[in-house]
């Protein structure tokens, strides 16, 4: 028989109960599941799974940032009188700005 020791941890009661139910369905108890986790961590010398932020939360934040940026662009266009420009007019302004920038670079 191998030498064992006790491990005492604090965990949210609901989380523990939910984990107990899942592991019982897998044919093991919480102690076995934690032992598997620790064995894999020791074997791999790392946390044996990826730890990441909730990607849905990140998407929500990114979408909110994109929407806020679009609102700022629209507000600037309204203030600058460019909100009603056609795509061709916008492209002409971009081409002119690029040509002006290129001219400045060649003159320096």
Query: pLDDT tens digits, residue range 1-59?
Result: 578 899 999 999 999 999 999 999 999 999 999 999 999 999 999 999 888 766 666 66
Q: Are 33 and 23 in contact (CB under 8 A)?
A: yes
Contacts 24+ apart (CB under 8 A), 32-35: 34/7
Tell me what pLDDT residue 1 has.
56
Which of left, alpha, beta for 45 (phi over 0: left; psi -120 to 50: alpha)?
left
32-36, 43-47, 84-88, 95-99: least confidently modelled range: 84-88
Q: Residue 58: its pLDDT value, please?
A: 65
HSE value, Cβ hemisphere, 13 Å, CA-based, for 73 = 7
Q: Considering the entire predicted model, what is its pTM?
A: 0.48
Cα dist. 15→18, 30, 76, 94, 97 in Å? Answer: 5, 11, 49, 56, 59
Q: Pull the structure tokens for residue 35.
A: 């032992």
């Amino acid at each position: 028989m191998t030498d064992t020791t006790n491990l005492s941890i604090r965990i949210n009661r609901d989380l523990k109960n939910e984990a107990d139910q899942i592991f019982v369905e897998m044919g093991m108890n919480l102690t076995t599941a934690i032992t598997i986790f620790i064995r894999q961590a020791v074997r791999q010398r790392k946390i044996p799974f990826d730890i990441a932020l909730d990607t849905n939360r990140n998407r929500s934040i990114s979408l909110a940032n994109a929407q806020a940026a679009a609102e700022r662009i629209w507000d600037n266009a309204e203030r600058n009188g460019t909100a009603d420009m056609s795509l061709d007019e916008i492209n002409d302004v971009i081409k002119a700005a690029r040509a002006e920038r290129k001219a400045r670079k060649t003159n320096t």
